Structure 1
Amino acid sequence: MSENLLHSISSPADLKKLDHDDLIQVCKELREFIIDVVCSNPGHFASSLGVVELTVALHYVFDTPNDLLIWDVGHQAYGHKILTGRRDRFHSNRKYKGISGFP
């Protein structure tokens, strides 16, 4: 089994250190992580799964957080939350005293 790259990312700066082949692996791990969490914590996840590659690409190419990203709905931003330092709290998404359901 390959190294879990997602756990090494706590900010977009960490993502930028990876090569393009690693980005493919990050997308796979990000998708699996979202599915695992949402299966035990109900929520909308199809939108986030549909924009995994887009989310990774935006954070890889742009200078986030200096370049601002706008998501039209919170459930599209699950990958964004995970890649911007909220992975460890993502299980609390949309729960009382958890992280916000909005980006």
Structure 2
Amino acid sequence: MTARRIARGLVKDEHLALPELELVDGRTDTDFDTVVLTLAAGTAIENLPPRQRDAMTLALADLTPTEAAEVLDCTPVQARANLAHARRALRRALETEEEA
């Protein structure tokens, strides 16, 4: 089972019902910026090497390094290192995106 499937399952279990929200509000400018940043981050995550992508996905699903290490079949130190490398790569990618 991939890290993404595990993360999706965990998120789905924790968020069974979402509150109903009104879809229209006055924050369109900031919402657009948020959407652009979210898309850029998602693209940057997809472009990470597999181990870094999996470590980031599990971190975003709120797994601890120890829990992520179990899923990734590595040590917690390796899981933290992969997450650190992923964060550094994402920071660089998003800085490049902002400059463009």
TM-score (norm 1): 0.30
Would you tell me which structure has more helix in proportion to its own residues?
Answer: 2
Q: Rg larger in 1 or in 2? A: 2
TM normalised by structure 2 equals: 0.31
